[in-house]
Structure 1
Amino acid sequence: MLHAIIAAIIAVILIIKTFIWTTVLIKRWKRQRELMRQKVFKSLQTEKTAEVAIPVVGIPVANQPAQLIFNDETDQRFKDVQSLVENATWIELGRGTLGPLFKWVLKGGAIVVARKLDKITVTRQEFAKRLLVLKTLQHPNLLPLRSGFFYGEIPFLIFDYLCLGSLEDLLHGKEKSSFTALNWPIRACVSLCIARGIAAIHRSPEGLVCGVVKSSNVLLKNDFKGCLSGYELPSLVPAAAIIKQNPGAVAPELLHTNTPVFTHSSDVYSFGVCLLELITGRRPRTRAPDGREIDLREFVQSAHNEIFDPAVDRDGSSEEEMSMMVGIAKECLCDVAAERPTMSQVVVKLKMLRTHLHHRNDSIQEME
């Protein structure tokens, strides 16, 4: 009887200690996340002064009636295409495979991202058909497609605007601007977000693909959770055009054929490269010690010294997690496509890895 009472007391003490330790870890993570957010927002403030609105003369002229293909039923801002295009303030964010990307400031101050499609190779009818398929993709780790329409002959896609910007900018910085390197807990969380987003696309009834998974297409929400964008590209342009613009991030089987076709397996390979980018802080094409430009995969495989991003402060547990993630990335980067894991399996591997590091698990759960 006495032994049972002692055992019960010990069990209660252990539960209390675990609760206190978990609470401390969660508070520590929240404090770190808030400090990181403040640093990132501070660096973003310096970039806003460089934003230049395009004058009205830069807005395309519609030589035929605007055509709304679809609109988010919960948001009525995009129903009047003519007014939307002509009254928005246009700020160019960059240029991608399909054409320029704009930040639109709407009446009332709301902000969205508009992708102007200059280089689609499908007919107007086929474009509308594929867009209606893409709009069905809904997942917390996929950037929502809010609207699609033709303004005259020019197609546009409308997405949410996420003010923290892309993973690429937060890993490598922008030209002539300072940036704050992401810490490891955030990078680990983002890796799982990306994997979940890709897996959701693969589970679609049509078996859709991402094409190329790259840091510039991963956007971060205010809580630093990752959101995958650019997944519409393979449905609208030939694979060869996408491959040409993404050296180092493409599966080898796509490079040795005149008619490349993206597959779920090639997406897994591309994710492996993105995972290495998170771990090393290097781009998909990087410099070898002898000065040659090589693929990041080759750099990691041939490295004799430490490959981890020196900008990341790490302790024993984070270093262990980084090392084990390198192993997952290498599985994704297998030369034989059939031997790569599926994205659903990768999600499970990443979650199991984080659960394995049990002394950090509770704070990680809070992040997600």
Structure 2
Amino acid sequence: MQTAMAVPANISTVDLDFMNSEEETLLLLYFAEIENTSGSRIFDININGETKFTGLHLVRNHSAIEVPILIDRTLSLLTLSKTSNSTMSPILNALEWYQRVTTAPLTSSEDVQALASVKKIFNLSNWNCISDPCFIYPWEGINCNNGLEIVRVLEIDLSNRNLTGSIPSTLGNMTALVKLSLDNNHLTGGLPDLSKLVMLERLHLQNNDLSGDVPDWLSELPNLKDLFIGNNNFSGVIPQKLQDLNLLELTYEGNNYLCVRKEECRLSSHSHGRRGKTVSVPVVVCPIAIAGIISLLGIIIYRKKFGRKEIANSGTQGTPTGNRESRYVPGQDNLIISVPSTPKSRSFSLEEMMTATKNFSRKIGQGGFGSVFLGELAEGKQIAVKILSFFSEQGIAQFLNEIELLSRAHHRNLVCLLGYCNASRDLMLVYEYMSGGSLNDHLYGRNKSKYPKLGWKSRLKIALHAAQGLEYLHTNCTPKIIHRDIKTANILLDANLTGKLADFGLSRVAADDVSHVITAVRGTAGYVDPKYFTTHVLTEKSDVYSFGVVLLEIICGRRPIDITLSEPQVDLVKWVMPLVKEDEDFMNIKELVDKSMDNNYNKDSVIYVAKLAMRCIESKPIDRPSSSDVVMEIKGAMKYEI
């Protein structure tokens, strides 16, 4: 590029002749201004007499331009023509001339055809390559056995791609496939027949919406070692032959209608479809049927009311366990569930829970999981016992998720899980008791009368505690944990108003080398990140958005969604946004601040936190601070209060 084809200023055109070719041609032209002059160099580019580029202008200071030209017919003449307003002649520093050469694909034709079908079905734009899937640079997510004479595709990784629709049956033709990963998408339907994949060792299909029975042909795959189908809508009974495979690692939790043994299945695949849908069936009821229904309801009520007392007389005792293996125990709906046994999760008996809570006589709360009761263990420690409601929208998956995560995540600003109880269809979580209630209680609920004036310093301290808990989840846990339900109701307080994050039923883990998780939207209205809501892409910044809403709550003293207010004020974020844009210096911050604080706050401190909150709720996740930045910023705001 340091030399160039240059002509005198009085020459207005430069012609280059090419050897005729019937093949498609790609021409790459390079232009760089290598003269320090005060004149202008502007010219047109013509191919075979047809203008391709008009008024190409070279910037001085040795900057370069590359101009690609694709020619679909014979290339014979390239002309550079000086324009009327140019003082200098055309210049050409370098060129590259490519012609398309048709070659047979190196990859097996069966694999190429199958991948072409997958590409079309899923609209995979990143597979829009000139080469075949395995040639020199394999397509994204494709691994091949390039050392053999016939190249075959061994691995396909299409996880975390936001894919929709059903799994293409053409994948069944890729008979050399060893690993197929389709985790964390939105795939639906049943498993197509992949029985020809006799080389398949790993099949990963977790976190989709796949349904139907688990097919028998899976147990006929001789090399299958990993089968991960958890968190789908599979139903029926896991084939016994599949369970009997000694070397198979099978993960299937989170399929509400899938069980291990037929006699333990109360719900069949024929009576339930997709998870979360209710199928309405017209029924004609006669008097005898009504009597039967009344009798059945009586039995259910009796079991729910007296079942605990009957089991309590069994005399079983829960003990701390050190076995990391899972054990299978009867759970809700007579399904078989696996409860992780860890050294830090104590298994309590129902008798212990009834004794501690005095037969569940003191209810202190109600959440999506179920009722919460106050209790006291034999050693004198106060506890909060959360019981899974029969009608809970969260259910067993969240129950297990909470045990798993809080058994390994320990921080002074996370609520401590002491253990669990799993007996007689009653699933319970046992926590340390937080006598101060929740931040939500102090701002709007039952503790507002007990603490009528939660001052700014206290609010700021609680926000710092919660931010430190969130920072721990995002940066110190391996793999990192995304809470997914940050809100004032999930920030609990002890007697000294120390804040701790609670309720990990909706939390998700993500490997440190993974930037995001594709998952169904969960959370609480008013706190959910709009970007996550529209894309299903969950990141740590989704938690940061929710925390920004919490910061606005402690400033404004109002709920994120309040339908009792006028329409412009219903949504806290939408109400605050225009006010801030009109007043970027927050001169009128007093209009936003909770009136119950009676002006007992440092204005600079409040403005500092308000600016932080606005950064947290930025529409683009990349523009939001990290949880570590949030901790640092809140500490900065606290300096004004010294």
- What TM-score results when the alignment is normalised by the length of structure 2? 0.41
**2:434 equivalent to 1:166:** no
Counterpart residue number, 2:487: 214
Question: Which deviates more, 63-72 or 81-90?
Answer: 63-72
SS of alignment partner, residue 208 of structure 1: strand
Deviation at 1:255, TM superposition (A): 2.4
What is the distance in 2 between the residues matched to 1:289 and 1:95? Answer: 25
Counterpart residue number, 2:529: 251
Contact 2:568/2:575 (8 A) holds in 1: no
Q: How does 1:230-269 map to 2 (within 5 A)?
A: 230-234=503-507, 242-243=522-523, 246-257=524-535, 260=536, 262-269=538-545
1:327 maps to a residue whose letter is K
Which is richer in strand?
Answer: 2
Q: How does 1:312-351 map to 2 (within 5 A)?
A: 312-315=597-600, 318-351=602-635
Higher RCO (CA < 8 A, seq sep 6+):
1
Deviation at 1:83, TM superposition (A): 2.4
1:112 maps to a residue whose letter is I
2:634 maps to a residue whose letter is L
Deviation at 1:321, TM superposition (A): 0.5
SS of alignment partner, residue 138 of structure 1: coil
Counterpart residue number, 2:499: 226
SS of alignment partner, residue 285 of structure 1: coil
Deviation at 1:289, TM superposition (A): 6.8
Counterpart residue number, 1:275: 551
1:151 maps to a residue whose letter is A
Residue 158 and residue 280 in structure 1: after superposition, are their counterparts in 2 closer, same or farther (change >3 A)?
same
Q: Deviations over 1:122-173 (max 9, x none)?
A: 66xx965872343111111111111123123332211111111111111113
Residue 133 and residue 289 in structure 1: after superposition, are their counterparts in 2 closer, same or farther (change >3 A)?
closer
SS of alignment partner, residue 149 of structure 1: strand
- What TM-score results when the alignment is normalised by the length of structure 1? 0.69
Counterpart residue number, 2:423: 151
1:279 maps to a residue whose letter is I
Residue 165 and residue 80 in structure 1: after superposition, are their counterparts in 2 closer, same or farther (change >3 A)?
closer
Residue 136 and residue 323 in structure 1: after superposition, are their counterparts in 2 closer, same or farther (change >3 A)?
same
Contact 2:436/2:494 (8 A) holds in 1: yes
Contact 1:72/1:147 (8 A) holds in 2: no
**2:142 equivalent to 1:142:** no
What is the distance in 2 between the residues matched to 1:129 and 1:248? Answer: 24
What is the distance in 1 between the residues matched to 2:348 and 2:569? Answer: 49
Which is richer in helix?
Answer: 1
Deviation at 1:114, TM superposition (A): 1.2
Question: Structure 2: 5+ residue runs without aligned partners?
Answer: 1-303, 320-339, 510-517, 583-587
Q: Give the alignment's Cα RMSD to 1 decimal.
A: 3.5
Question: Which deviates more, 299-308 or 212-221?
Answer: 299-308
Contact 1:211/1:266 (8 A) holds in 2: yes
Contact 2:437/2:447 (8 A) holds in 1: no
SS of alignment partner, residue 141 of structure 1: coil
Residue 121 and residue 161 in structure 1: after superposition, are their counterparts in 2 closer, same or farther (change >3 A)?
closer
What is the distance in 1 between the residues matched to 2:627 and 2:531? Answer: 18
SS of alignment partner, residue 227 of structure 1: strand
Q: How does 1:28-67 map to 2 (within 5 A)?
A: 57=306, 59=308
Deviation at 1:229, TM superposition (A): 0.8
Counterpart residue number, 1:45: none
Paired positions, count = 293
Contact 2:401/2:505 (8 A) holds in 1: no
What is the distance in 2 between the residues matched to 1:288 and 1:339? Answer: 32
Contact 2:371/2:387 (8 A) holds in 1: yes
- Corresponding residue to 2:384 among 110, 113, 117: 113
**2:370 equivalent to 1:104:** no
Residue 176 and residue 141 in structure 1: after superposition, are their counterparts in 2 closer, same or farther (change >3 A)?
closer
Rg: which structure is higher? Answer: 2
SS of alignment partner, residue 219 of structure 1: strand
- Corresponding residue to 1:131 among 387, 393, 403: 403
Deviation at 1:116, TM superposition (A): 1.6
Contact 2:375/2:383 (8 A) holds in 1: yes
Question: Structure 1: 5+ residue runs without aligned partners?
Answer: 1-54, 362-368
1:222 maps to a residue whose letter is A
What is the distance in 2 between the residues matched to 1:93 and 1:240? Answer: 31
